[in-house]
Amino acid sequence: DAPGNSQPYVKYQQLEDLLNKVMDDVTSFCNTLLTHVTPGYGAPSPQINTAATTLVQNMAARKTEISSLKSTRIFGE
């Protein structure tokens, strides 16, 4: 790449931790859906609404963690 277009390496352990948290968040959401009991008659589902709200909040938290993955020292060269 041309100067100024280079990108930092990621820190593997932080990347692994972040990806595991994301997978845990999605798994938790799916587990909630799998145990869902419909309230019937087209009423909103408290379980699904709570699971969706929690996943949205967790994903927002994960998004803020992305910038912590940049290395400040290059080990890959």
**pLDDT tens figures, 4-51:** 777 778 888 888 998 999 999 999 888 888 888 887 887 888 888 898
CA angle 45, 51, 57 (to 5 degrees): 135
Surface-to-core class of residue 57, CB atoms within 10 Å of its CB (0-12 exposed, 13-18 middle, 19+ buried): exposed
Q: How far apart are CA 8 and CA 23, in angstroms?
A: 24
Q: How far apart are CA 58 and CA 65, in angstroms?
A: 11
Q: What is the pTM of this model?
A: 0.65
